[in-house]
Amino acid sequence: MTFHYDQARWTDDESEGYEPLLSEKDETTVGTDDVPLPDDLKRDSLSLPELSEPELARHYTRLSQMNYGVESGPYPLGSCTMKYNPKFTEDVAAHPAATVHPDRSAGSVQGTLELYHRLEEQLARIGGMDAVTLQPPAGAAGEFVGILVAKAYHEANGDDRSEVVIPDAAHGTNFASAAMGGYDVVELPSADDGRVDLDALEAALSEETAALMLTNPNTLGLFERDIEEIAGMVHDVGGLLYYDGANLNALLGRARPGDMGFDLMHYNVHKTFATPHGGGGPGAGPVGVAERLVEFLPSPRVREAESGYELFEPERSVGKVHGFYGNWLVLIKAYAYIARLGDEGLADASAKAVLNANYLASQIDYEVPYGPFHHEFVASADDQDAADVAKRMLDHGVHPPTTKWPELVSEALMTEPTEVENRRSLDQLAAAFNAVADEESEALSSAPERTSARRIDQTEAARDLRLSWHALDG
């Protein structure tokens, strides 16, 4: 029932590893004698691989075959929302007029600015916000903008606050973003049902609270049903409520952060709106805000004037968090994806994501505490090591869940199938879970066997740091 899977493995007899490094295929040293610069300003020579185009085409094709993507198989990485990425959005983003220089005059890039403006407005409606900036180049950059905006807002009110409250199960970026903004973090313990503990929240909030950062549904896949009361408590002490958009895929068309009392939020367009995550990025993290925060948004913003679209600086702008306008090509893909789905498609994406999570949770042999779930659930491997479970699942041709987080669940397997898997594929995923659940620890600790590399020694990588081909022996 599970997939038969063998990942491509390219080796070279002369190499001690798998596909040789470019530097092991060639290293050519080129002089700079004919470079028209004084000697004291230029290097003598440059040493890098010099290979033909066919050789490079094979190198990177082999490497791609030794890599796993959403189109290789299921990718239920909890909290990361890895969806299928439609192909046509790549073509749309490759349009020559999309690649204009960022210093062009506004009058000469009216198409770009109109598209920018349309996406801002659509995201604002989807989130129930009054205005959106597309500038942040990632979700965590969006969080950082949220922190900067919150700080600017409080300072404009003559209010010097020092703390940001964050639930213990929140994404790690929340903590780091708050710290980057100079705030002390107050960690909020979760209640026994996995949700915000209102008594603990009461104790954590004070006149020092600049903001509460929250995602809803939370990282356990649970909807914070007391959200109105939570918002009221935060607002009562003069704080702002920040929405971490990482889990927005569960809510499209059914609830909006703005309606729940959130004052500001970020959107992860590569998660919710299916733009490729490219092995770690780029993504984009637009930020939406309520009316009273609009004047603090990053500069520049786009507005429609009589003569066309123009750029302007908000009155009390926090300034910039990206050198230009963010990850523009990703934003075009998000616009195209939203256009493809429309209102009903967006709502259906959430419906099927929630259906899939609940179905998969009902089909696996691992215990799944808490519930009811939205887009993801956290199972417990309990008497197995979750990291070993993940390694063994690789042998079944599926990407494993996120492991060992959140820590509220022992040996956590945080699973988010998304809407792009159908029943057949979910059954195969469940079969992979269940096959691994039945295995002894010896079998698990030697996994994986069918991937291009066998179990990799993480300790060695950290102890004996070799971070470039210059650092390799011989």
Binding to another protein (CB under 8 A) within 1-30 occurs at 7, 11, 15-19, 21-23, 28-30
| Single residue of 157, 160, 172, 202 touching another protein by CB under 8 A | 172
CB of 424 to another protein, least distance (A): 8
What's 11's DSSP letter? B
Token reading at 423: 């029943």
Nearer to another protein, 197 or 262 (CB): 262
Question: Which string of x and - marks every residue 119-138 that binds another protein (by CB under 8 A)?
Answer: ---x--xx-x--------xx
Token reading at 311: 């750029």
For residue 31, count other CB atoms closer than 10 A to its CB: 10
CB of 458 to another protein, least distance (A): 6
Half-sphere exposure of 19 (CA within 13 A, CB side): 17
For residue 120, count other CB atoms closer than 10 A to its CB: 20
| Single residue of 4, 279, 307, 442 touching another protein by CB under 8 A | 279
CB of 275 to another protein, least distance (A): 10
CB of 5 to another protein, least distance (A): 10
| Single residue of 162, 206, 299, 380 touching another protein by CB under 8 A | 299
Stretch 213-252 residues interacting with another protein (CB under 8 A): 222-223, 225, 227-228, 251
Select from 55-63, 207-215, 235-243, 409-417 the region that touches another protein (CB under 8 A): 55-63
Residues 415 and 37: their CA atoms lie apart, in Å, by 57
Question: Which string of x and - marks every residue 27-46 that binds another protein (by CB under 8 A)?
Answer: -xxx-x-xxxxx-xxxx--x
| Single residue of 165, 169, 178, 230 touching another protein by CB under 8 A | 178
Half-sphere exposure of 172 (CA within 13 A, CB side): 4
CB of 53 to another protein, least distance (A): 6
CB of 470 to another protein, least distance (A): 6
Residues 113 and 309: their CA atoms lie apart, in Å, by 6
Name the nearest CA neighbour of 72 among 91, 85, 58, 55: 85
CB of 290 to another protein, least distance (A): 15
Distances in Å between the alpha carbon of 223 and those of 123, 289, 365, 372?
21, 22, 24, 8
Nearer to another protein, 71 or 382 (CB): 71
Taking a C-beta distance cutoff of 8 angstroms, is the pair 242, 113 a contact? Answer: no
Stretch 300-339 residues interacting with another protein (CB under 8 A): 318-330, 332, 335-336, 338-339
139 binds another protein (CB under 8 A): yes
| Single residue of 153, 183, 267, 366 touching another protein by CB under 8 A | 183
CB of 443 to another protein, least distance (A): 13
Nearer to another protein, 142 or 239 (CB): 142
Name the nearest CA neighbour of 222 among 375, 417, 416: 375
Residues 311 and 291: their CA atoms lie apart, in Å, by 19
Residue written as token pair 């029943």:
423
- CB neighbour burial string for 259-280, b if at least 16 within 10 angstroms, e if fewer: ebbbbbbbbbbbbbbbbbbeee
List all residues 6 or more positions away from 138 whose beta carbon is below 8 Å from its beta carbon. 281, 282, 283, 284, 285, 327
CB of 238 to another protein, least distance (A): 21
280 binds another protein (CB under 8 A): yes
Stretch 360-419 residues interacting with another protein (CB under 8 A): 362-363, 372, 374, 390-391, 394, 399-400, 402, 405, 419
201 binds another protein (CB under 8 A): no
Chain-centre distance for alpha carbon 242: 17
Q: What is the end-to-end Cα distance of the chain in Å, rounded?
A: 46
| Single residue of 278, 304, 312, 441 touching another protein by CB under 8 A | 278
441 binds another protein (CB under 8 A): no
CB of 203 to another protein, least distance (A): 19
CB of 320 to another protein, least distance (A): 4
| Single residue of 4, 13, 14, 101 touching another protein by CB under 8 A | 101
- Is cis: bond before 217, omega within 30 of 0? yes
Residue written as token pair 């990025």:
281
Taking a C-beta distance cutoff of 8 angstroms, is the pair 305, 282 a contact? Answer: no
